[in-house]
Amino acid sequence: MGTYLLAYRGGAMPETDAEREESMQAWGAFLGGLGADVVDAGNPFGPAKTVAASGGVSDGASSGISGYSIISSGNLGDAAAKAKNCPILAAGGAVEVHEIFPVM
């Protein structure tokens, strides 16, 4: 079993209370469906800063990553298959799946 980062990119934010409730239910169903494979359910991201090699700091981040979760899975392909039911996809976003190498 390996550990994988699901990096959420983009996706529309719910605008009404009803849409927020529907979104929260969808996320609960998605993460609940992963069961014990969820290592860290994660959270959405707020405002960001980018720190450059020069030491300069600017507002925002170019990556477009809007949140994350960490899961365990047998391999990268299985982890990507688990991401296919992610609610961010229905909101117009995408999921990047990255294997996490335990070096520390």
The domain limits of the chain are: 2-100
Over residues 77-95, the mean pLDDT reads: 95
With contact defined as beta carbons under 8 Å apart, do 28 and 96 qualify? no
pLDDT of residue 11: 83
Query: 38-77 pLDDT, tens per residue?
Result: 999 999 998 899 999 999 999 988 888 999 999 999 999 9
Tell me the Cα Rg of the chain. 15
**CATH pick for 2-100 out of 1.20.59.10, 2.40.420.20, 3.30.470.160, 3.30.70.1060:** 3.30.70.1060
Q: Which residue has the higher pLDDT, 60 or 88?
A: 88
Indicate the pairing of strand 57-59 with strand 2-9.
Answer: unpaired
Determine the Cα–Cα distance for residues 62 and 67; give it in Å rounded to an integer. 14
Look up residue 103 and give its amino acid.
V
What is the pTM (predicted TM-score) of this model?
Answer: 0.88
